[in-house]
Chains A and B, each alone.
Chain A
Amino acid sequence: MKASEPAFAALVRRYQRTVYSIALRMLSDRHRAEDLAQEVFLQLYRSLDDIGSDAHLAFWLRKVTVNRAIDRIRQEARYDNEPLSEAAAVAEDVVDADPLLQRHLAELVAQLPPAARAVVVLRYQEDLDPVDIASTLDMPINTVKSHLKRSLTSLRARVVGAALVDDVQPSMSEPTR
């Protein structure tokens, strides 16, 4: 795949939401997310010759974004003492039927360990099924399912309390959105 600069700008426009959102959910910081997203597109610009199709491009962008985010989190060793104020600020972008619950959920997702967070973000933000998540993260499918199950149980328990835990089972099928 080759692109002139206007064509590449169109690619940026098309995928900026995906790349930035993954970076933001992983890093819980708008500035670091923007910086990471820019770096991903720079890397894409240098690697366009290696990308053969739109499907490959979307897969490549998600994979590179998640891997770079996890690398940053590990380098900075910040995932266990991330300031909640920033995570809360990021969560404030949520405005829907139950904004308090959704903001709280977004904050809790930001507190998951990096690998589990990546799985949850790819599943519920990007609507990928577990097979595609496993492929994107180079992770065994059973590990993906295990991360999903444990993360959902943990999130649900923290949000709705033990009384409602039995209501929800993680679905491994195609998302409905």
Chain B
Amino acid sequence: MSKDFEQQLRDALRPIDPEEGFEQRVMARIANEPTRSRRRITRWAASLALAASVGFAAILGAHQWREHREQQGLEARRQLLEALRVTGEKLDVAYQAVNREAPPADDESGA
């Protein structure tokens, strides 16, 4: 090898031109690209749609949460009334039992 190895490498890696018409093919692909303004509008519309979707989801979520809380309140009220009813029944039973077992007032006096 008479030439310097690195120079041989440079020669081996000399830049190569693309095939004829490369520039025209690139420009044809660019012509098929959406215009910048259209892309910006599309991006803007997509952002708006996304924001609207997020807002709608938040409102729907809040509404469902409120309904859920109302249902929880009604259920708690129903359970409280049931508990009071059961308690009242038990108290009635106890009251009647006490009344049945109580001795007459005359016997106690001994007169």
Which residues of chain A have a CB within 8 Å of any CB of chain B? 5, 8-9, 12-13, 16-18, 20-21, 24-25, 30, 33-34, 37-38, 41-42, 45-46, 90-91, 93-94, 96-98, 101-103, 105-106, 109, 120-121, 124-125, 127, 152, 155-156, 159-160, 164, 167-168, 170-171, 175-177
**A6 CA / B11 CA spacing, docked (Å):** 33
Q: Are B18 and A34 in contact (CB under 8 A)?
A: yes
Any chain A CB within 8 A of the CB of B97?
no
Given A9-B23, A13-B23, A124-B12, 19 extra CB contacts under 8 A = A12-B22, A12-B26, A17-B16, A17-B18, A25-B13, A38-B22, A42-B29, A42-B33, A46-B33, A91-B12, A93-B16, A94-B12, A97-B3, A103-B12, A105-B12, A127-B10, A159-B5, A160-B1, A176-B7
The 0/1 profile, CB within 8 Å of A marked 1, for residues 2-26 of chain B is: 0111111111111111110011011
Residue of A nearest to B5 (CB): A168
- Which residues of B, 27-74, contact A by the 8 Å Cβ criterion? 27, 29-31, 33
Q: Are B11 and A94 in contact (CB under 8 A)?
A: yes
**A160 CA / B8 CA spacing, docked (Å):** 12
**List of 8 A-B pairs having minimum Cβ-Cβ separation, nearest first:** A102-B12, A105-B12, A125-B13, A20-B18, A21-B15, A168-B5, A124-B9, A106-B12
Q: Are B8 and A102 in contact (CB under 8 A)?
A: yes
Q: Are A168 and B16 in contact (CB under 8 A)?
A: no
- Size of the chain B interface, CB-CB below 8 angstroms: 27
Q: Are B9 and A105 in contact (CB under 8 A)?
A: yes
A16-B18, A16-B22 as given contacts; A160 in contact with B5, CB under 8 Å: yes
Name the B residues within 8 Å of A168 (CB-CB). 4-6
Name the B residues within 8 Å of A120 (CB-CB). 9, 13
Which residues of chain B have a CB within 8 Å of any CB of chain A? 1, 3-19, 22-23, 25-27, 29-31, 33
**A13 CA / B27 CA spacing, docked (Å):** 11
Name the B residues within 8 Å of A127 (CB-CB). 10
Q: Are A125 and B5 in contact (CB under 8 A)?
A: no
**A168 CA / B7 CA spacing, docked (Å):** 11
